[in-house]
C-alpha cells in the first residue's frame, strides 16, 4: 500500500477531476482537500509532505468517483458559501447561487437606515436569502416558508445559525388560505422555481441532482409568479416590496403580473453576469 502525502493527494484529486473534464478541477480539488483534512488549503500545503491516513485516501477516491459522475460538489461538501455565509446544503435543497445575491443587495439598499425589518421569504429552500439579509440588517424578524421536508431541514439549520429571529414555517405558498394568515411585512422575497419545460430538457448534469420542485415553474416558467403575487400581495405592509428572482428573459412577463396586481412601481436589477435577475414591485404607501 502506498502512503500518500497531502500534496500527492491534492495532485491525485486534481488529476481525477481533470480526467473527468470538470471545468474547475483545480479549484474543486482544493475544496475537496479542505473538506477531507478539515484545514484551509494554504495551511495544508505548507506542510504538504505530511502523510495522509489511508482511510482519507479511500474517502477521496469515493468523492472523486461521485464528482466524476457529476454529483454536485456542494452536496459532497455539505456546506456552500452564499453572501459570505457558510450555509448547510444537501440532497433535496437547491444549492444557493451567486445570482441570488442580487436580491440580498436590493433588500439591503431598500432598508438602509431602517432600525428593523419584517421579512417574509417564500420558497425559501436553504434559507440563503433571509440568512444573508439578517446577517446584514439590524433586527430582521419574520418568517421563511418552505414546503419540501428535505429542504425544510436545511432551512431550519441555516436560520438557527444566521437568522435566529426568523421563524421557519413548513407550508405551501400556493395555498391561498394559508397565505391569508400573514400580514404586515416590509419585504417579501421569493426565488420560486422558474425554469421552463424547454429549460428542463437541457439541464447541466449537476442540476439534475437538485430537486425538480425547486426548478420547474410550469410550461413557461411563470406559474409561481402568477399565483404567489395574487395570494401574497396582501401580506405586505403599505409601502412594502415584493422582490422576485427571475430567469433570463422573464422580466417583462413578471413586471406585467406585478402591474396587473396593483403594484405602483416595478424595478429591475441585473446580476453579476449582466442578466436581469430581479424584479420587484412596490405597494402604494
Catalog residues that contact ligand GLN under the rule CB under 6 A.
97, 99, 191, 193-195, 207, 215, 245
DSSP secondary structure of 188-214: EEE----B-HHHHHT--GGGGGS-GGG
Nearer Cβ to ligand GLN, position 135 or 203? 203
Contact 179, 204 (CB under 8 A): no
Nearer Cβ to ligand GLN, position 28 or 271? 271
Q: How far is the CB of 77 from ligand GLN (least distance, A)?
A: 18
189: which residues sit within 8 A by CB, 6+ positions away?
103, 107, 119, 120, 121, 122, 129, 130, 133, 243, 244
Nearer Cβ to ligand GLN, position 95 or 179? 95
Q: How far is the CB of 99 from ligand GLN (least distance, A)?
A: 6
Sheet holding 276-282, edge to edge: 166-170, 140-146, 117-122, 185-190, 236-245, 276-282, 265-270
CA 86 to chain centre: 11
Q: How far is the CB of 3 from ligand GLN (least distance, A)?
A: 41
Nearer Cβ to ligand GLN, position 102 or 191? 191
Nearer Cβ to ligand GLN, position 61 or 223? 223
Q: How far is the CB of 47 from ligand GLN (least distance, A)?
A: 39
Cell numbers 488529476 correspond to what residue?
Answer: 15
Q: How far is the CB of 102 from ligand GLN (least distance, A)?
A: 11
Q: How far is the CB of 215 from ligand GLN (least distance, A)?
A: 5
Q: How far is the CB of 106 from ligand GLN (least distance, A)?
A: 16
What are the strands, taking DSSP E only, across 6-109? 51-52, 79-82, 85-88
Contact 191, 100 (CB under 8 A): yes
Query: What backbone phi and psi angles, to 5 degrees, belong to 13?
Result: -65, -45
Could you give the CA distance from residue 283 to residue 285 in angstroms, rounded to a whole number?
6
Q: How far is the CB of 104 from ligand GLN (least distance, A)?
A: 15
142: which residues sit within 8 A by CB, 6+ positions away?
117, 118, 119, 120, 121, 130, 165, 166, 167, 185
If DSSP codes are grouped into helix, strand and coil, which group holds residue 125? coil
Amino acid at each position: 500500500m502506498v502512503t500518500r502525502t497531502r500534496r500527492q493527494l491534492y495532485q491525485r484529486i486534481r488529476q481525477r477531476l481533470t480526467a473527468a473534464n470538470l471545468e474547475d478541477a483545480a479549484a474543486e480539488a482544493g475544496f475537496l482537500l479542505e473538506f477531507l483534512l478539515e484545514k484551509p488549503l494554504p495551511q495544508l500545503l505548507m506542510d504538504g509532505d505530511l502523510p495522509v491516513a489511508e482511510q482519507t485516501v479511500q474517502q477521496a477516491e469515493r468523492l472523486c468517483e461521485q464528482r466524476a459522475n457529476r454529483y454536485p460538489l456542494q452536496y459532497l461538501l455539505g456546506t456552500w458559501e452564499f453572501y459570505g455565509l457558510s450555509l448547510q446544503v444537501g440532497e433535496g435543497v437547491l444549492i444557493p447561487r451567486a445570482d441570488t445575491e442580487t436580491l440580498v443587495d436590493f433588500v439591503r439598499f431598500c432598508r438602509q437606515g431602517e432600525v428593523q425589518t419584517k421579512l417574509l421569504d417564500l420558497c425559501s429552500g436553504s434559507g440563503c436569502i433571509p440568512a444573508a439579509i439578517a446577517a446584514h440588517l439590524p433586527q430582521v424578524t419574520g418568517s421563511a416558508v418552505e414546503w419540501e421536508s428535505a429542504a425544510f431541514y436545511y432551512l431550519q439549520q441555516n436560520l438557527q445559525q444566521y437568522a435566529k429571529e426568523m421563524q421557519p414555517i413548513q407550508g405551501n405558498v400556493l395555498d391561498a388560505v394559508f397565505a391569508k394568515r400573514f400580514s404586515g411585512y416590509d419585504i417579501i422575497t421569493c426565488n420560486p422555481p422558474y425554469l421552463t419545460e424547454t429549460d428542463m430538457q437541457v439541464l447541466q448534469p449537476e442540476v439534475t441532482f437538485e430537486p425538480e420542485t425547486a426548478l420547474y415553474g410550469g410550461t413557461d416558467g411563470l406559474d409561481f409568479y402568477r399565483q404567489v403575487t395574487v395570494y401574497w400581495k396582501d401580506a405586505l405592509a403599505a409601502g412594502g416590496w415584493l422582490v422576485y428572482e427571475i430567469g433570463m428573459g422573464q422580466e417583462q412577463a413578471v413586471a406585467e403580473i406585478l402591474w396587473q396586481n396593483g403594484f405602483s412601481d416595478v424595478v429591475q436589477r441585473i446580476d453579476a453576469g449582466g442578466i436581469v435577475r430581479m424584479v420587484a414591485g412596490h405597494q402604494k404607501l
